[in-house]
Chains A and B, each alone.
Chain A
């Protein structure tokens, strides 16, 4: 059937006047003809014009609105937030950007948020300038921690909705093994640009003192630039960066996979908000004269050598703009305060979309950029695979026995994987409504379940430390064993800004395979699905 004929008679179809056979024929044509589908779109637009022509706001709309806004305090800026926490590749992909200096790539200010945020720092934007850490106590705070976090969240949302190139520069300091002697820590600068519209991005990690480039990742519209991991800060080598051709579509798809650029400050604030121990320590004046609110909480030093050490985490907010300026984790040792981690947000802005940025890293000094035309060294963006391909690649590729009703399965894996290490893949079960159950096999089974074991210690409200109970009411750590013997180590739930709890777990199978699960479903549902995990055939 010819397009012309189809388009002429589309309207007739809408009226349902043709025979079932004709319908089928036209439908088949539409299924395979983009031109005619596009025509259908235009006709639909006209129909919508007609539909909406008579739709007018109520005459009382303005007076109602005036009454509503009269009760609204001005400083709130609650732009609608977007979707759920990311379980996307990018956060994993970019997690290498976290400062080096320790063996684990997941170090943080004391929780998992930092790692996620590191991966996605380029995706958020606020304007902030660092304050000196020397602060003087000022007056008694007049706001609660909750209010500060609400306002910080609102300020963040407002800038997040801005358009252009997001630019953020963070100075970060970590002492990963703070209880060890002679640990000096490492201070790095992470400078990130991201253009939402084009997908161009650039993340450079440099040594704060020497300026040496330790890690890089970028996309210039035609090539990705990636490394095999950050250089050790003491290394004399130059960083090797692989330039691999890659389509924009692929980069964009991964940029936004798993719900988009949503793991951000809001998420961090939400986690602080759900921590009952967060208090306003005071309103202080920084060395630059700026007023700063200080929030603090006590946490177990999860990444310190002594797991029972308690660290104080502080967040510093500009008291005028409510933007997060700094986060700092410290602990007390022999009467001295030792800094474990310190993140300072030096720049956090949205630049005009036309701003010149060297996406191709041509400005970097002291690095080797090597062409990787067949993408065997760098890039490693995942590509779609079939269940059969998964089974062919690995004998421990776990999937759900059947795709749950209402879900679709998308299976992806980075190409050209090293046969010596565990196979990396991601299986995403998603519903139209946005729920997901995602399996991520990261290729490093041993690391996955470390620190998530049964013997986790919990820090109590009365400041004592006891083993965590099996099922803490707030959704803390928990271990669940399936009938098949898979151990499911639940992490603390990810809490969204609107208070939803999303389970995350590391799973270890009897055969040694390990993978991560993240989901929007309830913990009970996740457990039920874990019972359905089988090796892909």
Chain B
């Protein structure tokens, strides 16, 4: 990114004009929103920390132009965060924890409890990380943040119809990863189902 020394351009607002307190408030209020999305998207706490930095640097630069009347700040933040993560083309590390380590779950346990355990032992995490980035993004926005379809569409700048079909495809892929034959868990197998909407 090219920086332009603002000394030479008197029309550029000096830095002090950005309300540092407001920025601090925004950071405090929304750091978890950004961090958790990045954590779930990238699957790594160090990378999520880096994402948090990069996203808020962007927020800082853009704050002067942000107009609260034109949309919720959360939508805006979700968008910047997801875009950052989508552009973060790192090598995807599919977790390779041996399946034998899975804890047994009693059949009479409530679904939630057993899912929590599944999460604890990374089954869901592995399946989520095996989704494509775009599919992961819709699942996180829809089912983790519980955003309505139209807001997911706004965040991703795609039509609502595409959101719905992408979510459904992600769930199909997820079901294959989670409950399909064990071979589907191997990182070298990519089911044909996993295609772009």
Chain A residues proximal to chain B, CB less than 8 Å: 7-17, 20, 23-24, 26-27, 30-31, 34, 37-38, 40-52, 55-58, 61-62, 64-65, 68-69, 72-82, 142-143, 146-147, 150-151, 154-155, 158-159, 161-164, 196-197, 199, 248-249, 252-253, 255-256, 260-261, 319-320, 350, 352, 408, 430-433
Chain A residues lying within 8 Å of B176, measured Cβ to Cβ, are 27
Contact B79 A161 (CB under 8 A): yes
Per a CB cutoff under 8 Å, which of B53, B66, B107 touches A65? B53
Instruction: Say whether, besides A40-B174, A48-B124, A48-B140, A78 and B111 are in contact (CB < 8 Å).
Output: no
Chain A residues lying within 8 Å of B105, measured Cβ to Cβ, are 11-12, 15, 17
Chain A residues lying within 8 Å of B171, measured Cβ to Cβ, are 30, 37-38, 40-41, 44
Chain B residues proximal to chain A, CB less than 8 Å: 1-6, 8-9, 11-15, 17-18, 23-24, 27-28, 31-32, 35-36, 39-40, 45, 48-49, 52-53, 56-58, 60-62, 64-67, 69-71, 75-76, 79-80, 83-84, 87, 99, 102-105, 107, 109, 111-112, 114-120, 123-125, 128, 132, 134, 139-140, 142-144, 146, 150, 153-154, 157-162, 167-168, 171-172, 174-176, 178-182, 194-196
Contact A74 B6 (CB under 8 A): yes
Chain A residues lying within 8 Å of B11, measured Cβ to Cβ, are 319-320
Instruction: Say whether, besides A11-B114, A52-B40, A65-B56, A73 and B4 are in contact (CB < 8 Å).
Output: yes
Contact A252 B115 (CB under 8 A): no
Chain B residues lying within 8 Å of A27, measured Cβ to Cβ, are 175-176, 179-181
Interface of B is mostly: helix
Contact A69 B57 (CB under 8 A): yes
The distance from the CB of A135 to the nearest CB of chain B, in whole angstroms, is: 18
In the bound complex, what is the Cα–Cα distance between A34 and B175 (angstroms)? 12
The distance from the CB of B112 to the nearest CB of chain A, in whole angstroms, is: 6
Contact A253 B162 (CB under 8 A): yes
Contact B116 A47 (CB under 8 A): yes
The distance from the CB of A474 to the nearest CB of chain B, in whole angstroms, is: 20
Contact B144 A80 (CB under 8 A): no
Contact A51 B175 (CB under 8 A): no
Contact A162 B3 (CB under 8 A): no
Contact A55 B45 (CB under 8 A): yes
Contact B179 A80 (CB under 8 A): no
Contact B114 A14 (CB under 8 A): yes
In the bound complex, what is the Cα–Cα distance between A27 and B112 (angstroms)? 20
Q: Indicate the member of A24, A50, A199 with the most B CB atoms within 10 Å.
A: A50
Please name the residue on chain A nearest to B75 by beta carbon.
Answer: A163
* Inter-chain CB contacts under 8 Å: number: 266
Instruction: Say whether, besides A34-B168, A77-B61, A197-B153, A48 and B119 are in contact (CB < 8 Å).
Output: yes
Instruction: Say whether, besides A65-B53, A432-B196, A151 and B4 are in contact (CB < 8 Å).
Output: yes
In the bound complex, what is the Cα–Cα distance between A17 and B159 (angstroms)? 39
Instruction: Say whether, besides A44-B139, A44-B174, A260-B157, A143 and B9 are in contact (CB < 8 Å).
Output: yes
Contact B124 A57 (CB under 8 A): no
In the bound complex, what is the Cα–Cα distance between A159 and B65 (angstroms)? 8
In the bound complex, what is the Cα–Cα distance between A197 and B75 (angstroms)? 13
Contact A51 B40 (CB under 8 A): yes
In the bound complex, what is the Cα–Cα distance between A50 and B134 (angstroms)? 22
Per a CB cutoff under 8 Å, which of A24, A65, A68 touches B181? A24
Instruction: Say whether, besides A10-B179, A51-B40, A77-B61, A408 and B2 are in contact (CB < 8 Å).
Output: no
Per a CB cutoff under 8 Å, which of A10, A62, A65, A150 touches B4? A150
In the bound complex, what is the Cα–Cα distance between A31 and B143 (angstroms)? 19
A–B Cβ pairs within 8 angstroms, 5 of them: A16-B182, A65-B53, A76-B61, A319-B11, A432-B132
